[in-house]
Amino acid sequence: MKVLITGGLGFIGTNLTAELRRRGYETWACDLTHSDRDYYRRCDIREYRQLDKLLSEQAFDFVYHAAAEYGRWNGEDYYENLWMTNAIGTKHIVRLQEKLRFKMVLFSSAEVYGDYTGTMAESVMDTTPLKQMNDYAMTKWVNEMQVLNSAAMFGTETVRIRLFNVYGPHEHYTPFRGVVPTFIYKALHDQPYTVYRGHKRTFEYVNDVCVTLANISERFKPGEVYNIASEKQYEIKYLSDLILTKLAKDDSSVSYKNAEPFTTKLKRGDFSRARQDLEHACPTSLEEGITRTIRWMRTAYKIPEEVRQVAVR
């Protein structure tokens, strides 16, 4: 099987490439920049010609469409890139899918549940009116409707996945990233960061998620949509404390604040469908996942444990 991962240099793309290669697939990746990787092509999905060239030349059986401008605040600050990459770029891919007939996995997000505050089951949008609370969330819901409409009109075959809070190695820190890379990076560099009290989240270790994602290629149900979530809810402060403990640091650089405005206090995803169809599970404990993520981040940012300990003394 010949597979393409768009956004293949990104956090999930990098991990998914490894998992699909482990399974023996001819796994290609594309992303915005040039790279030294094999089976890789530079391709900006905003540019139809670049996509057309890549997809027409290679005859992929399967496309994991992970390329996207990611995150709520990034989307609010860089909304031009957001709409061009997510809405136009995805429409380009859907148009090419209508012609070339590859199967697709569309990366969506729990953000599509918008202002819904109950347990998020996949069927919520069929039974409950929702409004997305930011442009990033809107683009992801737009993407889902784009593939649904294409399936209805042209018979294209796509599975949608809604990711919750994936974390792990290869997620580089930027000010627009989530709490895990932010807390680890800031703590490693002895920089201040803020912890909002009263928010609870689940955390899914990226290797566990990539096993589930790879399983889709073997158990493909066109038109299906899956929450990729986990069970256990953690206070954000618990996560921060866990990271600080593992780094043998105190919380003197941490500011604590009450509820973050315009952000849900609790996100609970029903993932029974993914468990049943895809054997989705998250066996890696948060403690173990954080240990591995810290180890990767020390390597990525060249902060060896020994040196830190000497510096701390």
List interacting residues with a copy of itself (CB under 8 A): 79-80, 83-84, 87-88, 91, 125-135, 138, 142, 145-146, 148-149, 152-153, 262
CB of 73 to a copy of itself, least distance (A): 12
Q: Distance between CA atoms of 222 and 303, rounded to whole angstroms?
A: 45
- According to DSSP, residue 4 is labeled E
Q: How far is the CB of 246 from a copy of itself (least distance, A)?
A: 36
Q: How far is CA 99 from the centre of its chain?
A: 27
In the complex, the smallest distance separating the C-beta of residue 70 from a copy of itself, rounded to whole angstroms, is 17
- By beta-carbon proximity to a copy of itself, the closer residue of 47 and 235 is 47
Q: How far is the CB of 186 from a copy of itself (least distance, A)?
A: 26
* Residue 78 C-beta-side C-alpha neighbours within 13 Å: 13
**Strands in 32-145 per DSSP E:** 40-42, 62-65, 103-109
Closest by CA to 229, choosing from 212, 215, 214, is 212
Is 300 within 8 Å of 172 (Cβ atoms)?
Answer: yes
Residue closer to a copy of itself (CB basis): 93 or 278: 93
What are residue 156's phi and psi, to 5 degrees?
Answer: -70, 155
Pick the closer one to a copy of itself by CB: 99 or 172: 99
Q: Which is nearer to a copy of itself, 14 or 139 (CB)?
A: 139
**Nearest-10 Cα torsion for 26, 30, 35, 36:** 0
**Residue 103 beta carbon to a copy of itself: minimum distance, rounded to whole angstroms:** 22
Nearer to a copy of itself, 1 or 148 (CB): 148
Cα–Cα distance, 150 to 283 (Å, whole number): 36
CA distances (Å), 273 to each of 203, 245, 279, in order? 18, 36, 9
Give the nearest distance from C-beta 152 to a copy of itself in angstroms. 8
Q: In angstroms, rounded to a whole number, what is the distance separating the alpha carbons of residues 269 and 151?
A: 26
Q: Least distance to a copy of itself from the beta carbon of 106, Å?
A: 15
Q: What is the largest CA-CA distance in the chain?
A: 66
Q: What are phi and psi of 45, to 5 degrees?
A: -65, -10
Long-range contacts of 230-233 (CB under 8 A, 24+ apart): 230/164, 230/202, 230/203, 230/204, 230/269, 230/271, 230/282, 231/202, 231/282, 232/202, 232/286, 233/200, 233/201, 233/202, 233/266, 233/268
Q: How far is the CB of 247 from a copy of itself (least distance, A)?
A: 35
Q: How far is the CB of 44 from a copy of itself (least distance, A)?
A: 13
